[in-house]
Amino acid sequence: MTTAIVWFRQDLRLKDNPALYHATKKFEAIIPLYILDEDHDWATGRAQQWWLHQSLIALQNSFDRLNLKLILRKGDSFKILQELTEKNIAAVYWNRCYEPHFIKRDKEIKHQLKLNGIEIESFNSHLIHEPWEITNLQGNYYKVFTPFWRAWCKKSKDISILPSPSKNIHGKKIKSDLLENWKLLPTHPNWAIGLDQTWKPGEKSALDHLKYFISKKLENYSKKRDYPSDNSTSLLSPFLHFGEISPRQIFTAIQQTEIMHPRISTQCEHFLKELVWREFSYHLLYYFPDLPHQNFKKEFNKMSWITDKKMLYAWQKGKTGFPIVDAGMRELWHTGYMHNRVRMIVASFLTKHLLIDWRIGEKWFWDTLVDADLANNAMNWQWVAGSGVDAAPFFRIFNPNLQSKKFDPEGNYIRRWVPELKDLTKKEIHEPLIRKDYPSPIIDLEMGRGRALRYYKKLKTND
């Protein structure tokens, strides 16, 4: 009986999974395998460890219906694959990852296993178009989103979805780790209670979120997406990160909705741009692999960032004295998520008012967000800081109080996450008076803005 390993990574689903689909078509027996390999600079953050634990349980439940066992192993990916392929395994199939350390690792594994006579096939599952498939007229990569979007749309005509495997798949008995032994869940203290209350990871939940978004939220997406109390975003980003749903599934569902309801075509386009922004971030990471570590704009290498552990701690814990900032940081800690508009506000506050290095904020988000893609996280932090491609100018500095009044006018978002202010009026809540039960502002906004502008001017002068 011919047998193939299907190596799961960022594709924890059965439907529209190219590696799984093609392996089941060619081989008589399948070994689904997940390897926890953390030997790199961007090991899984604590919030995503919680999600991964739940997602692997959901994936095993899906395999139960096919009478297959998901094999779990922890350690060096190459050593584990080499060991397993010595047991009469003909092939290893996987879906590609695009983070620099994974690209390097996968190339080495592919080369060595091929030398050992193992068939290797890899597929695109995590993106609609791979980074090298979209280039400008000169054959170079895009550094501005709008022309990338136009080029991306021209290539996105006929996109199809692969079905889940049928139920007549054979497996093979292989020793597996116990998921509990990986200790991905927090215990003492259990800080993930809010995550348990907020999320249900897994492929079925991802599809449910997509259906709910299309039926209940899409129609008013562009009008409400910036208002955190309305909860009008899709909440699909963590499911996308872990591959519990594919971007192709989302794209085709939105396309079909647009065909059926042409009156909301503008809303469909607004949402698809967010999906393509994610693809743009992978496009940039592929061509600029230092994106998570280095300023894209080299003049920012001269920036004199400020090290202030006290202010950083206040920002991390939601105790800055600025209600919208504190609400966002507390939402993040409780749910592993933060509304996108608020992410921009808290990132601007850290990098501009506090002049703390964007890489410190990036690391904090990596550890606390359930949806922290390496590409998206790095690009968005550099976008806000002003050091990235197609970035907001450094001198664009969000005033958190004004942002709060504009995007949370009734103060409902703040009241939810900063309950000590819940009794204030909608006028008072954005700039609360000095109170015993709430921190005083850690910085004067005008002073912080003026200092940031001086630093930026100095950068431009020295350039």
Question: Of 340, 401, 420, 431, which residue is the catalytic one?
Answer: 340
The 3-state secondary structure of the chain, one letter per residue = CCEEEEEECCCCCCCCCHHHHHHHHHCCEEEEEEEECCCCCCCCCHHHHHHHHHHHHHHHHHHHCCCCCCEEEECCHHHHHHHHHCCCCCEEEEECCCCHHHHHHHHHHHHHHHHCCCEEEEECCCCCCCHHHCCCCCCCCCCCHHHHHHHHHHHCCCCCCCCCCCCCCECCCCCCCCHHHHCCCCCCCCCCHHHHHHCCCCHHHHHHHHHHHHHHHHHHHHHHCCCHHHCCCCCCHHHHHCCCCCHHHHHHHHHHHHHHCHHHHHHHHHHHHHHHHHHHHHHHHHHCCCCCCCCCCHHHHHCCCCCCHHHHHHHHHCCCCCHHHHHHHHHHHHHCCCCHHHHHHHHHHHHHHCCCCHHHHHHHHHHHCCCCCHHHHHHHHHHHHCCCCCCCCCCCCCCHHHHHHHHCCCCHHHHHHCHHHCCCCCCCCCCCCCECCECCCCCCHHHHHHHHHHHHHHHHHHC
Alpha carbon distance 121, 162 (integer Å):
17
CA atoms within 13 A on the CB side of 14: 20
Question: Of 381, 383, 399, 417, which residue is the catalytic one?
Answer: 381
Question: Of 182, 191, 277, 333, which residue is the catalytic one?
Answer: 277
Q: Is 340 a catalytic residue?
A: yes
Alpha carbon distance 76, 457 (integer Å):
48
Q: Nearest to residue 113, comparing CAs of 131, 91, 133? A: 91
Q: Is 305 a catalytic residue?
A: yes
| The pairing of beta strand 91-95 with beta strand 3-8 | parallel
- Sheet containing 91-95, strands listed edge to edge, beginning at the edge strand earlier in sequence: 71-74, 29-36, 3-8, 91-95, 119-123
Q: Is 381 a catalytic residue?
A: yes
Find how far residue 112's CA is from the centre of its chain. 31
Question: Of 305, 333, 412, 431, which residue is the catalytic one?
Answer: 305
Question: Of 7, 94, 149, 358, which residue is the catalytic one?
Answer: 358
Q: Is 132 a catalytic residue?
A: no
Alpha carbon distance 329, 226 (integer Å):
17
Question: Of 130, 219, 269, 274, which residue is the catalytic one?
Answer: 274
| The pairing of beta strand 29-36 with beta strand 91-95 | unpaired
Active site residues: 274, 277, 305, 340, 358, 381
